A and B are shown apart, each in its own frame.
Chain A
């Protein structure tokens, strides 16, 4: 074959080969565009649905604590010969009486006062006010019985259905039968909105209230948030020291033999065990065997600790491996013992790496849902846990519970809002990590 013939052969194939090259490149770009598109879609979905949930239709009404409706005695005062138990009994009897007051009538009067010409009947009026408004009025009164007979401005949430209607989350053209609110109630809500007596206000209660079933519009994340914080705390307190100690031992001290090899394989495998298996471990060992309280952040935190441990160990080991051997030799050469070398010279260099690993592990644990379901954290809990041993929910579990709520129109937004809070918390953790990391690296 002459060189010209050969060149002709090469040239003959060139255009097809370049077409294939272009196609391959295009696939690469398409893959990246798709992946980036998924990120964009995900965030667009969450933000567009979640952000509106941070404002909610809220009444600003003048409420008259009408003595004709609020018929209760004076609040009891503790006398000197009373034991605390007896006083507690008397107070609770009084509070029961306050609760028995028909607060709905107070609310209805306030709404009617704001819109005197409405044709809505009392059921319809109450259907646009959140059901927990009556408890809020009661609590106001319990805190300050002097309100009796006075008229004060009060902010009350509109009900979930009213919020849907006013935000347009429900199709306004649907026939009457398919609307959640009756026609007069809808007209009343529109009128109050137009007059500025209902406004879209920032929904602080998402952060301050606990979950609620009877009053969905007032449901908040406080309990789940604190529960998640407790779990993070447990994870940090347990996983970091155990993980770092274990990594230091395996990387710096352990002899290379069968046993340490087994630990090594075992840790790498643990890192890839499905989270739900850890949940089963938690259910069988922590709950069923050690009888830890169900739904407690302590049990959840322990399960998440075991899950996070491999991440911390693996990352700490790779940080230790990245420390140049010259540092160890220098310290050993100066007569430091092995332990001194590792703890005084090698380990401090790896702090930024360990910190990053910890945050990644904690963030991962924070978003974990499945194992928590298995240890009973999906129970409905309407309180902020005071200690890690109290019943509690967690942010991801709360998201799971809310997405399953029957009031779809309202809870889709609420769930997205909870997701935003969860992602925001993760983002904060990462920001703290970056900040601390840069500080540590500057110091080093």
Chain B
């Protein structure tokens, strides 16, 4: 209700608890004598923890149930004929009473029973508020008293505080696991709901994507074939890799093997700027610059290239992935021992022979790992394809034609005014599941390979 008062109360409790814990433990062991098991700071901290936790618990309970309680009380004050009203009218009545209670008033004259109820509610609110504050302060004080009594020379306050800290750290570590669990559970659960409308075989092997609209309420009327989307995804990702792999790899090779320290330290950060630019910016770049440019090139060559196409999206996505590949490869190439390079140069190999025949083969596992991570990145990329791929879910071979991808379709199916429980929306989760599994396999494989590679040269 009044956050400032609550915060003050908590702060006062905190300060008081810490101070008493600290000074009491100090008194037990006068300066010079070090018989205290833990330093006073820990006694203070322990007292603060013991005091704050119950007080916070009370406020949490109030925050959770306070609203329900006051509503129940208010309903009990109303005459039965009002209670019998429909829910919309009941809500507006409640709102009126709350307005009267807050002193804002209502337009027109308030009915006597309204005023009565508002008066009762006002009293109830003040009372509960006071009660909660008193309870929190009381429990806090009680807990403080108890905690204080425990303070003795031998109380292992530090160990207890450390145990609390430890528990907090473990809780934090579990968040990452919970996230994965949450992803898997929500994707699986919603995808299964989708598969109750559409058979998995139709989904995974269907060649037509035409989900229709859910607003008509006709259920699973559309066709949900994954293959056109998967095809579009693979086509865009392949073009991206075709652009990024040679440029990224050659950049890394040049910067690690040929460039002087000065060139390296200026060029590398500039290229890494590309990694920091949001994908929506790349999408816009594709839409207004690259797309029209490619269409123009197509025109002069007499080839039909559309401004929004697999090619446009793929090339721009490739540009986005360049720094990703170049910095990963850079790291990996630099881990190849110098002795290997010297051995080859010492035999009279030229630098490029050394790179092609010794360094790259030695770095190959790591580069494969980087490649897989890049593929995973390309498959999961969304905004560039949303803006620049043209959103046309058909099985087409020509990269100059618009396509649609898994990610684009997820966005399309979940934005817009569709009912969340319709197959048209739920299919997004089946698509998400497919995407998650594909990237999971790629990531785990890549991480495994890279880890093995690092161990090899450690």
Contacts and interface: CB of A to CB of B under 8 A. Distances in A.
Interface string B119-144: 00000000000000000000000000
B254 A263 contact: no
Given A17-B350, A84-B104, A280 B247 contact: no
Contacts of B177: 262-263, 266
Contacts of A243: 172
B380 A249 contact: no
A27 B249 CA distance: 10
B411 to A, nearest CB: 5
Prevailing SS type, chain B contact patch: helix
A293 B56 CA distance: 25
A248 B352 contact: no
A121 B29 CA distance: 93
B175 A246 contact: yes
A82 B284 CA distance: 56
A29 interface: yes
A285 interface: yes
B5 interface: no
Contact of A367 (B158, B279, B407): B279
Nearest to A369: B280
Interface in B187-242: 187, 189-190
Nearest to A426: B276
Interface string A43-83: 00110010000000000000000000000000000000001
A110 interface: no
A101 to B, nearest CB: 25
Interface string A262-289: 1101111110111111111101110011
A253 interface: yes
Contacts of A284: 186-187, 189-190, 429
Given A254-B173, A277-B436, A378 B350 contact: no
Interface in B233-286: 246-251, 253-255, 258, 267, 270-271, 273-274, 276-285
Contact of A267 (B176, B249, B319): B176
Interface string B423-440: 000001100100110011
Interface string A301-339: 000001001100100000000000000000000000101
A139 B322 CA distance: 51
A85 B175 contact: no
A369 B383 contact: yes
A246 B169 contact: yes
A171 to B, nearest CB: 15
B435 A276 contact: yes
Given A38-B274, A273-B439, A369-B383, A378 B104 contact: no
Contacts of B253: 28
For A30, A248, A277, which residue has the most chain B Cβ atoms within 10 angstroms? A277
A39 B186 contact: no
A374 B414 contact: yes
Interface string A19-51: 011001101111110111011011001100100
Contacts of A241: 172
A89 B105 CA distance: 11
Interface in A351-374: 363-364, 366-370, 373-374
A272 B288 contact: no
A309 B173 CA distance: 10
A32 B350 contact: no
Contacts of B351: 21, 24-25
A383 interface: no
A31 B285 contact: no
Interface residues of B, number: 92
A363 B352 CA distance: 38
A440 interface: no
A234 interface: no
A242 interface: yes
Nearest to B444: A269
Interface stretch (A153-161, A179-187, A218-226, A415-423): A415-423
Contact of A39 (B179, B274, B356, B383): B274
A249 B428 contact: no
Nearest to A89: B107
A25 B284 contact: no
B166 A339 contact: yes
A245 interface: yes
Given A246-B176, A277-B432, A403 B258 contact: no
Interface string B328-369: 000000000000000000001011110110000000000000
A406 interface: no
A337 B162 CA distance: 9
Given A28-B250, A274-B439, A337-B162, A249 B411 contact: no
A267 B292 CA distance: 40
A297 interface: no
Contacts of A10: 348
Contacts of A373: 411, 414-415
A86 interface: yes
A250 interface: yes
A18 interface: yes
A333 B11 CA distance: 36
B350 A266 contact: no
Contacts of A416: 284
Given A263-B173, A339-B165, A24 B288 contact: no
Contact of A280 (B187, B280, B289): B187
Interface string A417-439: 00100110010000000000000
Contacts of A399: 280-281, 284
Contacts of B246: 27, 31
B109 to A, nearest CB: 10
A374 B103 contact: no
A276 B434 CA distance: 12
B82 interface: no
A412 interface: yes
Given A28-B250, A30-B250, A265-B447, A281 B435 contact: no
A309 B179 contact: yes
A388 interface: no
Nearest to B436: A277
Contacts of B158: 337
B410 interface: yes
A19 to B, nearest CB: 10
Contacts of A34: 247
Contact of A274 (B175, B190, B319, B435): B435
B270 A39 contact: yes
A249 B171 CA distance: 10
A216 interface: no
B381 interface: yes
A272 B373 contact: yes
Nearest to A244: B172
A227 interface: no
A385 interface: no
Given A266-B177, A313-B176, A17 B353 contact: yes
A363 B382 contact: no
A283 B429 CA distance: 10
Contact of A24 (B355, B386, B443): B355
The 4 closest A-B pairs by CB, nearest first: A274-B380, A367-B278, A83-B105, A28-B254
25 contacts: A25-B352, A31-B249, A32-B271, A35-B248, A38-B319, A83-B105, A85-B107, A246-B173, A248-B169, A249-B170, A267-B176, A269-B447, A272-B377, A273-B443, A274-B376, A275-B380, A276-B407, A280-B428, A281-B187, A288-B420, A367-B277, A369-B278, A370-B382, A370-B407, A400-B386
Given A245-B169, A266-B176, A277-B432, 6 more contacts: A85-B107, A272-B439, A276-B432, A285-B182, A419-B281, A422-B278
Interface of B: 99, 103-107, 158, 162, 165-166, 168-170, 172-173, 175-177, 179-180, 182-183, 186-187, 189-190, 246-251, 253-255, 258, 267, 270-271, 273-274, 276-285, 287-289, 319, 322-323, 326, 348, 350-353, 355-356, 373, 376-377, 379-383, 386-387, 407, 410-411, 414-415, 420, 428-429, 432, 435-436, 439-440, 443-444, 446-447
